[in-house]
Structure 1
Amino acid sequence: MRTHTLRRIRIRRPRLGRPTGSDVTSGTVTGLFSIPEGMAYAAIAGLYAGVVPAIVGSLTSRTVLMVTTLTSAIALTSQSVLSDTGLDPKNAGNVALLTVMAGAVMLLMGALRLGAVMSFVSNAVMTGFSTGIALQIITGVLKDATGYKPEGHNKIHQLGDWLRHVGDWQLPATLTALATIALWAVARAVKRLEPVALLIAMVLVSAAVAVLSTDVELVKDIASIPAALPSFTAPDPTAAPDLVQGAVSVALVALAQAAGIVPSMPNPDGTRSDINGDFRSQGYANLANGLFQALPSGGSMSRTGVAVSAGARTRWAGIVSGVFLALVVLLCGSLAERIPMPVIGGLILVVAAS
């Protein structure tokens, strides 16, 4: 009887529960990160991808702390798929169709329990995959952190090019990123401030940049943030035959990234993650996401890392991040445009390294 009871406890489905103070703080930090990071990937379509997917994904995911949103790999794959088929990657109808189709593929794979194939992948392989994602994240923000955009046909070459061109790094951007990292480290060393260290570094350095009029790139230099929530957009069904293969590719990229999160982010409540459940969760998120002007989304290693580093304890952290981002876009878009990109670059370097 006892064995049966314990087994039931281990496999129980994670519940929503109540949000903690750490979840609210974590969601706030993660929502703020979604502004410059999402716009850097794909402007407004990337920004909106931090709203609906984060809420739906966090409500339904079996990996409690996983944040579902746009990633650089998904953004690049999606834009490549649309361009290769001759479709305008900025057309809302095309984006909506690709996102919905990718969501349908994810949902189908979860329903067919194809996540079982991940059980045959060794921990060493998943560790290598996660390290590769971290390297991708790091190289993706080197320009934001130092003002120099590395060149090269792969991430290793880009990292080497970045190191060889130290003299081309812009001093204001580099110092801003270093100050952000240093302030984060100081705040994190204080036990009471550890859960909000990322937020403290972001707010204080951003304020200092504004007061000192430091010449660095801001979010508004990428694109303006409209003071409006995404409106309903119907997919354009005429392009469906051209996007079938591409939707499968996007779904596989997203699911592979999400699968890399599972072993490194155990559920705090002791419940067991379920990759098939996570596949279905991302499918739900994209089916909803595609109707509101956003590119496909999936489990994000960088955004999940930000949430955990900021003290996430339950799935409420992801929900709060989506709601908070929606409020910021609606009420404080002009203020959010003033967040310096080197600040975001510095903090993402910290998260990716962790």
Structure 2
Amino acid sequence: MKHSRLLALLPSRTDYRAVPRTWRADLLAGVTVGIVALPLALAFGVSSGAGAESGLVTAIIAGIVAAIFGGSNVQVSGPTGAMVVVLAPIMAVQGTSALALVCLLSGLIVLLAGVLRLGRTISYIPWPVIEGFTLGIAVIIFLQQVPTATGTQPGESTNAAISAVQAAMTATWPKLGWSLLLVAIVVVIMLASMRFAPRFPGSLIAIVVTGLLVALLDLPVDLIGELPSGLPAPTLPSGDLTAVAGLIGPAFAVAALAAIESLLAARVAASISDTGPYDADRELVGQGLASIAAGFFGGMPATGAIARTAVSIRAGARTRVAAIAHGLLLLAVVLVGAAVVSRIPLAALAGVLMVTACRMVAPATVRAVLGSTRSDAVVFVITAIVTVSVDLIYAVLIGLLAAGFFALRQLAKASGVHREELPGSVQPGDERIAVFRLEGALFFGAAERMMERVSEMRDIEVVVIRMSQLQILDATGAQVITDMIHSLERRGITVLVKGIQPRHLQLAERVGVMASLRHQNHLFTDLDAATAHARSHVARAAAT
């Protein structure tokens, strides 16, 4: 069984059974998404601090490896904006020499998560948290481009907003003016392409136009610089145990982000295409191997890229061949066009990422979240603010905590303790019997409220607790029932329990609900029998 489960995480012949029918469409989609990915790979590499070459290597190596080993038929992987956001501070503190180790460690963590079958945990992240996280990332990506867009160096602060202000304060003319002009040209071309020719790669056209402008006018702006005319030779990451220990924390942050973003992208890809479901655990295995492989070649950690994946799907991608072809096209660019790529102005890449950041979150989505419920809106805003001001991983954790708090509060409100009339005709002594119906959820968020309600009773001799309508019972709820029974019995009030559901019976026994009853006959499955027993207690008390 374990052997077959491990085999399910590996590539198989069935991954390519549709290729004889779809290879033409797959190749066309691969070329299309490769053209779109080229400027993004360069821009993300520069923005992360690892360099344009690292971005290209990641798109090539990680893109191909993730396509072969991943769990999605159409996912396109490579450097992404979210990874840049979490990687840039690490590079600023640890230096580029730590990049290979970060890739290796984070890749191993993601790989292990896939082997341990942790892929489905992504389904527990609420929608407002995801959208708030995405909005925060978009803001950070935009702010990170300010230094490049103004022809300056990033500020000293690790906070993107403060760093952007610090960088802008050091801008000088005429470099500032020419850089902003290139950014404006890129923005206009990309927006015009989206509006009038959405099938054309507006980002690539903008890069070509600005590159020609800089070359013809010899403008005083920063360029990508020299790139190797081929892939670097693979090398083993270097570092001692001290270096590894110092990178464990950052590696976990990178791994968590890679897993979250890749699984979200794979889930969205499966929802917008009819190429079959995705395997979440295998996707983690593929992304882990992709980051490890990229690290050996000087690349950066990779994730699934939903924007590029969507482009590939719209271009007709049906199998993994499309993502593989995308990587091979980028490899061809490196082999034959490195000299041309080195002349691309950095300000143009900043413009590409600024437009990309603005497109990451649709205004309609923001309005939908803010207009849903007050709690969802609060979770969305909190997650976005923490993402921008503190840290991406903390943002997800705090967002989950906030969402959990509101969910538990709503669940507690849906639970109830209701006093009911006794069934049948009224008999003498019924006023000394109280029947309480527990419904909904009795857990730590609602148990105290039930205890307060029952403790308010006066002049009662018998209490019947109906539990047949109780949907959720946790250990705290069971313990509250136990304590309540003990408290009532000490006051001389007999407690009868009716209708414990079979799925709650074992928990009730372990916590001590049954043991707290005065007699084992005080547990009932029928309300009429419980009522008759309660009336007999009242009658005997009256007779004495």
TM-score under structure 1 length normalisation:
0.78
Post-superposition shift, 1:255? Answer: 1.9
Q: How far apart, CA to CA, are the structure 1 residues paired with 2:167 and 2:99?
A: 33
Unaligned ranges ≥5, structure 2: 1-13, 360-544
Whether the 8 Å CA contact 1:217–1:341 is kept in 2: the answer is yes
Q: 2:146 maps to what in 1?
A: 142
Q: 1:8 maps to what in 2?
A: none
Post-superposition shift, 1:165? Answer: 9.2
Q: 1:195 maps to what in 2?
A: 200
Q: 1:69 maps to what in 2?
A: 79
Post-superposition shift, 1:172? Answer: 0.8
Q: How far apart, CA to CA, are the structure 1 residues paired with 2:77 and 2:244?
A: 31
1:214-241 CA deviation, whole Å, 9 max, x = no partner? 2221111xxx212231212134485386
Find the residue that maps to 2:200 and give its secondary structure.
helix
Find the residue that maps to 2:253 and give its secondary structure.
helix
Q: 1:251 maps to what in 2?
A: 255
The structure 1 residue matched to 2:284, chosen from 255, 264, 279, is 279
The answer to whether residue 58 in structure 2 is matched with residue 49 in structure 1 is yes
Q: 2:67 maps to what in 1?
A: 58
Q: How far apart, CA to CA, are the structure 1 residues paired with 2:106 and 2:39?
A: 26
The structure 1 residue matched to 2:179, chosen from 173, 176, 179, is 173
Q: 2:32 maps to what in 1?
A: 25
Q: 2:338 maps to what in 1?
A: 333
Q: How far apart, CA to CA, are the structure 1 residues paired with 2:71 and 2:328?
A: 20
Q: How far apart, CA to CA, are the structure 2 residues paired with 1:112 and 1:256?
A: 16
Instruction: Give matches, 1:160-309, under 5 Å.
Output: 170-191=176-197, 194-220=199-225, 224-236=226-238, 238-239=240-241, 242=245, 243-262=247-266, 264-265=268-269, 266-300=271-305, 304-305=306-307, 308=310
The answer to whether residue 127 in structure 2 is matched with residue 115 in structure 1 is no
Find the residue that maps to 1:49 and give its secondary structure.
helix
The answer to whether residue 137 in structure 2 is matched with residue 125 in structure 1 is no
Q: 2:448 maps to what in 1?
A: none
The one-letter code of the counterpart of 2:193 is A
Q: How far apart, CA to CA, are the structure 1 residues paired with 2:347 and 2:101?
A: 34
Whether the 8 Å CA contact 2:101–2:244 is kept in 1: the answer is no
The structure 1 residue matched to 2:105, chosen from 67, 76, 101, is 101
Q: How far apart, CA to CA, are the structure 1 residues paired with 2:117 and 2:41?
A: 31
Post-superposition shift, 1:349? Answer: 1.4
Q: Mean alpha-carbon deviation: is it higher for 105-114 or for 149-158?
A: 149-158
Find the residue that maps to 1:280 and give its secondary structure.
helix
1:107-162 CA deviation, whole Å, 9 max, x = no partner? 11012222332211111110111112212221222222233556455234456778
Q: How far apart, CA to CA, are the structure 1 residues paired with 2:177 and 2:311?
A: 28
Instruction: Name the CA shift for 1:313/1:280 in 2 (closer, same or farther; >3 Å).
Output: farther
Please tell me the root mean square deviation across aligned C-alpha atoms, in Å: 3.5
Whether the 8 Å CA contact 2:144–2:164 is kept in 1: the answer is no
Whether the 8 Å CA contact 2:35–2:201 is kept in 1: the answer is no
1:56-114 CA deviation, whole Å, 9 max, x = no partner? 11333334234233631353365378x3xxxx742xxx654442332221111012222
Q: Mean alpha-carbon deviation: is it higher for 266-275 or for 165-174?
A: 165-174
Q: How far apart, CA to CA, are the structure 2 residues paired with 1:252 and 1:22?
A: 30
Instruction: Name the CA shift for 1:124/1:102 in 2 (closer, same or farther; >3 Å).
Output: same
Q: Mean alpha-carbon deviation: is it higher for 39-48 or for 336-345?
A: 39-48
Post-superposition shift, 1:182? Answer: 1.0
Instruction: Name the CA shift for 1:166/1:338 in 2 (closer, same or farther; >3 Å).
Output: closer
Post-superposition shift, 1:276? Answer: 2.6
Whether the 8 Å CA contact 2:182–2:210 is kept in 1: the answer is yes
The one-letter code of the counterpart of 2:64 is I
Q: How far apart, CA to CA, are the structure 2 residues paired with 1:323 and 1:329?
A: 10
The one-letter code of the counterpart of 1:228 is G
TM-score under structure 2 length normalisation:
0.53
Q: How far apart, CA to CA, are the structure 2 residues paired with 1:237 and 1:176?
A: 41
Whether the 8 Å CA contact 1:206–1:339 is kept in 2: the answer is yes
Q: How far apart, CA to CA, are the structure 1 residues paired with 2:59 and 2:42?
A: 8
Q: Mean alpha-carbon deviation: is it higher for 160-169 or for 207-216?
A: 160-169
Post-superposition shift, 1:306? Answer: 5.2
Whether the 8 Å CA contact 1:58–1:318 is kept in 2: the answer is yes
Find the residue that maps to 1:338 and give its secondary structure.
coil
